[in-house]
Amino acid sequence: MSAPARIDLHAHSTASDGTLSPADLVRAAADAGLDVVAITDHDTTAGWDAAVRALPPGLTLVRGAEISCRWYGVEPAIPLHLLGYLFDPDEPALAAELARIRAAREVRAERIVELLRADGVEVSWPEILAGAGGGVVGRPHIAQALIRAGLVASTTEAFGPRWLGERYRLPKEDVDVFRAVALVRAAGGVPVFAHPKASRRGRIVPDELIVDLAAAGLAGLEADHEDHSPVERAHVRRLAAELGLLVTGSSDFHGTHKTVHLGAFTTDPAAYEAIVAAGVTPVASG
């Protein structure tokens, strides 16, 4: 009997804030012994084609994205991430929304740099933009500039309250999460709530919101993730069972921007098959 498939449904490339190119990401996924990997860059599908072209034999690619969302049910609104899998990247409404968020991210990142510079912190916007290499710019790229300047020792420290976690944190222009679920579904995709109970990242949403999202078309919850404690993972599983949602597990690999490895958390084959069956874009096989 062959071993069960190893399926990692959440990974970033240089198309957003990962450090491996899409081609290197799929090669690394094969080297890590994965059978299936999803490319889920923040707010973009720009890495999809290069990942497909480089797909090693035996590896299956799930094309997706991680959409920057917000829940406006409380004040101030809570930011959250929605994974969209196997949607049509040319569906105009979703594509337009992703383009809008990407543009807003650039404005926001430049403003953060201006705030830092106003306090005498010598970081350069052109250098940070170049560091993003044409990919979607995010705080990890600013964190790299702080590391280069010798102001912090690690990305984790850069995300502390003295820096990008609080003092120099500016909100993004995110999508209302109900709208994002509807947009992903309308584009033929499968929406899964990424790390929904990751309290160590910041404020989390109540279960009541997840109940409402399930009624609005949410397909699943990411349970196994490094930012979830064992108690949080169990809670997410229980909630998914109650609501009839599928459950995923993933590394949320970011290359050297984080310490987690590809395949550190994986998804059950049955949940993966359900996602594939529900999506409009076929998986790609190398």
Of 9, 14, 17, 172, the one binding Fe ion (CB under 5 A) is 17
Q: How far is the CB of 173 from ligand AMP (least distance, A)?
A: 11
Residues 6+ away with beta carbon under 8 Å from 225: 10, 194, 195, 198, 233, 249, 250, 252, 265
Phi and psi, residue 268, nearest 5°: -65, 135
Number of residues that bind ligand AMP (CB under 6 A): 12
- Give Cα 133 to chain centroid, integer Å: 18
Under the binding rule (CB under 5 A), the answer on residue 17 touching Zn ion is no
Q: Name the residue nearer to ligand AMP (CB basis): 59 or 180.
A: 180
Under the binding rule (CB under 6 A), the answer on residue 159 touching ligand AMP is yes
Residue-wise DSSP of 160-178: STTTTTTTT------EEHH
Under the binding rule (CB under 6 A), the answer on residue 225 touching ligand AMP is no
Q: Name the residue nearer to Fe ion (CB basis): 80 or 239.
A: 80
In terms of DSSP bridges, do strands 175-176 and 60-71 run parallel, antiparallel, or are they unpaired? parallel
Under the binding rule (CB under 6 A), the answer on residue 155 touching ligand AMP is yes
Residues of span 196-255 touching Zn ion by CB under 5 A = 252
Pairwise CA distance, residues 81 & 66, whole Å: 6
Q: How far is the CB of 92 from Fe ion (least distance, A)?
A: 25
Residues of span 135-194 touching Fe ion by CB under 5 A = 194
Count of CB atoms situated within 10 Å of the CB of 56: 14
Of 53, 96, 134, 156, the one binding ligand AMP (CB under 6 A) is 156
Residues of span 253-282 touching ligand AMP by CB under 6 A = 254, 258
Under the binding rule (CB under 5 A), the answer on residue 258 touching Fe ion is no
Of 8, 41, 66, 224, the one binding Zn ion (CB under 5 A) is 66
- Give Cα 64 to chain centroid, integer Å: 9
Of 138, 196, 220, 263, the one binding ligand AMP (CB under 6 A) is 138
Under the binding rule (CB under 6 A), the answer on residue 47 touching ligand AMP is no
Residues that bind ligand AMP (CB under 6 A): 17, 42, 138-140, 155-156, 159, 172, 201, 254, 258
Residues that bind Fe ion (CB under 5 A): 17, 81, 194
